[in-house]
Amino acid sequence: MAEKKSVAELKAIASQVRRDIVRMVHSCQSGHPGGSLGCTDFFVALYFHEMNHDPKFNMDAKGEDLFFLSNGHISPVFYSVLAHSGYFPVKELATFRKINSRLQGHPATHEHLPGIRIASGSLGQGMSVAIGAAEAKRLNKDDSFVYVLMGDGEQQEGQVWEAAMYAPNHKLDHLIATIDWNGQQIDGPTAKINDLRDLRAKYEAFGWEVIESNGNDMEGILAALQKAKSLAGKGKPVMNLMKTEMGAGVDFMMGSHKWHGVAPNDEQLAEALGQLEETLGDY
């Protein structure tokens, strides 16, 4: 099991992960940098501080915390964090979205990439899978945590609400869900596409314990995850509504939906990398 990193170390790792993300999507000229950058701090906090997990990777993960990525299009951040955690060689990030790679455009188990436990990309399915994994842990008398991350646009999928109804009714109180609440989706602001309205009230009405956090503040993320864990074991799943800035860390990618699914060109890559310190060495 990995040691817990300090806040300064976590911030340094996050900077490298952001460099990886923009380099990966630039290299294959496709992919989703905006959401990946926005969720970088959260992923780093989970994998390098909060989660009890083993990069030797066992699918069943008995006695380990589990993480599921439902909004699979932010695969670049997932792959970079898994690689730096030791699940597979960092240099393999160079194969992202290319032929014969284990790093598919959206996460998949099919090529047996260590760290991935379910395919995701077609939205709305991850919370159901996390619920199943949490039910298996309960049957196995394993009180580890199951984490799931969803997009905010993804809340428009009906299956999310089937799962949202199930978890509190079945008292899955070791389930910690997070919504990447960046207010953007591919076609524009969520408020204009199909407004989510009051997410807190919705989840509370379904029976969840709801907390709010800032997903681009490392101390804030750690505090939120600590709070989520402290609320566990009391009969309710926990929903972390996490405000993030799409594109966080690269100024020209922030504040709009335009970088949801667009790769930077050579000049834009250079400009982005100029804003992100190379802390662990580029792959």
Nearer to other proteins, 159 or 279 (CB): 159
Q: Which is nearer to other proteins, 89 or 235 (CB)?
A: 235
CB of 158 vs other proteins, minimal distance in Å: 7
Measure the CA–CA gap between 91 and 282, rounded to whole angstroms.
Answer: 9
Residue type, 164: A
Map residue 27 onto helix, strand or coil.
helix
Task: Kindly tell me which of 97 and 117 has the beta carbon lying closer to other proteins.
Answer: 117
- CA–CA separation, 73 vs 149, rounded Å? 12
* Element spanning 166, H or E: helix 158-169
Kindly state whether residue 226 participates in binding other proteins, applying the rule CB under 8 A. Answer: no
- Among 18, 73, 137, 257, the residue binding other proteins under the rule CB under 8 A is 137
277 in contact with other proteins (CB under 8 A) = no
Report d(CA 231, CA 238) in Å as an integer: 7
Which residue reads 């309960």 in tokens?
138
Site string for other proteins, 151-190 (x = CB under 8 A): -------xx--xx-xx---x--------------------
CB-nearer residue toward other proteins: 121 or 189:
121
DSSP 251: G
Pick out residues in 233-262 that bind other proteins (CB under 8 A). none
Place of tokens 């799931």: 148
Nearest to 177 by CA among 244, 223, 129: 129
Q: Which residues bind other proteins (CB under 8 A)?
A: 59-62, 66, 68, 108-110, 117-122, 124-137, 139-140, 142, 158-159, 162-163, 165-166, 170
